[in-house]
Amino acid sequence: MVVIMKLFEKCFAYDEPEIVRKRGLYPYFTPIEGSSGSQVTCYGKPHIMIGSNNYLGLTHHPEVKEAAKRAIDKYGSGCTGSRFLNGNLDLHEELEVKLAEFVGKETALLFSTGFLTNLGTISCLAEAEDVIFSDEENHASLIEGCRLSRARVVTYLHNDMNDLEKKLKKHAGIKGKIIITDGVFSMGGDIVRLPELVTLAKRYGALVYVDDAHGLGVLGRQGRGTVNHFGLDREVDLIMGTFSKSFASLGGFLAGPAKVIDYVKHKCRPFMFSASIPPASAATVLTALRLMQEDPTMIASLWRNTEKMHSGFKKLGYNTGRSETPIIPVILGKDQLAFIFTKRLSERGIFATPAVSPAVPKEKALIRTSYMSTQSEQELDQVLQSFAQIGAEFGVI
């Protein structure tokens, strides 16, 4: 007999996943048994992957894989400690220099994950007397970083510069102000209105922090990201990025003024007390970064595929919201429909992931699709054909 203590009461009362499992519609934690880049194997069956963030398809690039193997041979499988103590490699320092140059900042600092980058940086820098202005559709890691800080958090309507200005005006007397935003919003696929945001920041004396996890490798010259895309490299104070998207690895980084980075390096507990990224991860990012700059065809192919899918979904009559990037949400409405739709896609060999409430507003459930440069015309046609058939089946289109 299980004795339910008060701390566990909410756990035993939580039955939402079990309800979906009993209906045979649970779409999460699908075990991937193998991968060949644009396709994965699940339950012994090949699936076209349209649910990843592998925008440039570099996870299977031969040079990327070889770099990881060489790093393991030289350094071993892990660092077994934090950068602050015993886990600082020359690879880490080389990568920081190259990333800083890539995004146009004085210096950069590597973190163990992208989530920790946001969580640690924001909570380290923002204090009780400060105010954070945060877009309502910011990534969860930004939200948690804001919550962990002691600053007052003011949320403004998504990408709404009029609402942001109203709230900046209201707090005009506060000296410590920072606007925090995604560059490319991870669920909607739209791009921040950065030129207007920067203008407001200057007008009201606020700093600007851009989480460019989904912009790097996608936007800007050689994939330098959202800030570079708008030519605002010198106007944005801090840029954050992850390695788990276009860089085909794991980890994150913060880039900005040298003195700020040095402060974070010595004051940020999530950085100081987390093990550093493994040698193979650092070597992977270094190689991906080089390839990104040397081979412009990768980003060109990504955008060719992106435009094909935007056009295809539009012709079919799907609602894809505000998307203007390789992240294309297919908005369906009901949570149940999103679960059923995902299962039908899987039955047709398409790997996709649903987003339901509370991750999205009620009645706004969607299939979050995203595309990569290495997908073939035939694969993308198969995806569109599957959406056409299933959409017709359920009267969505």
Q: Tens digits of per-residue pLDDT, 374-387?
A: 999 999 999 999 99
Is the pLDDT score of 4 beyond 80?
Answer: no
The predicted pLDDT at position 1 comes to 53
CATH topology of domain 21-50+296-393: Aspartate Aminotransferase, domain 1 (3.90.1150)
Cα separation, 93 vs 113, whole angstroms: 16
How far, in Å, CA of 376 to CA of 51, rounded? 16
For residue 2, what pLDDT band results from cuts at 50, 70 and 90? Answer: low
Q: What is the fold, at CATH topology level, of the domain defined by 62-294?
A: Aspartate Aminotransferase; domain 2 (3.40.640)
Catalytic residues: 186, 214, 245
Answer for the pair 343, 23: CB distance below 8 angstroms, yes or no.
Answer: no
Going by pLDDT thresholds of 50, 70 and 90, the confidence category of residue 66 is very high
pLDDT at residue 37, rounded to an integer: 83
User: Which secondary structure element, helix H or strand E, spans residue 282, and what is its range?
Assistant: helix 279-294
What pLDDT shows up at residue 40?
Answer: 97
Q: Which two tokens stand for residue 314?
A: 């539009």
- Contact between 117 and 145 under an 8 Å Cβ cutoff? The reply is no
Say what the pLDDT of residue 5 is.
Answer: 79
Calculate what percentage of the chain has a pLDDT beyond 70: 99
Mean pLDDT score across all residues of the chain: 96
Q: What percent of the chain has pLDDT over 90?
A: 96
Instruction: Quote the pLDDT of residue 307.
Output: 98
**pLDDT, average across residues 60-88:** 97
Instruction: Write down the pLDDT at residue 360.
Output: 87
Cβ–Cβ < 8 Å for 240, 229: no
Q: What pLDDT, on the 0 to 100 scale, is given for residue 258?
A: 98
For 195: left if phi > 0, alpha if psi spans -120 to 50, otherwise beta; the answer is: alpha
Q: C-alpha distances in angstroms, 239 versus 195, 218, 236, 277?
A: 15, 15, 7, 19
- pTM of this prediction? 0.95
pLDDT tens-digit series, residues 128-170:
999 999 999 999 999 999 999 999 999 999 999 999 999 999 9
Structure confidence by residue, pLDDT tens digits, 356-367 = 988 888 899 999
pLDDT grade for 95, boundaries at 50, 70 and 90:
very high
- Taking the C-alpha atoms of residue 225 and residue 239, their distance in angstroms, rounded to an integer, is 10
pLDDT digits (tens, 9 = 90+) for 176-224: 999 999 999 999 999 999 999 999 999 999 999 999 999 999 999 999 9
Rounded-to-integer distance, Cα 242 and Cα 351, Å: 23
pLDDT at 26 over 70: yes
Cα–Cα nearest to 134, from 170, 180, 183: 180
Task: Show me where the domains of the chain are located.
Answer: 21-50+296-393, 62-294
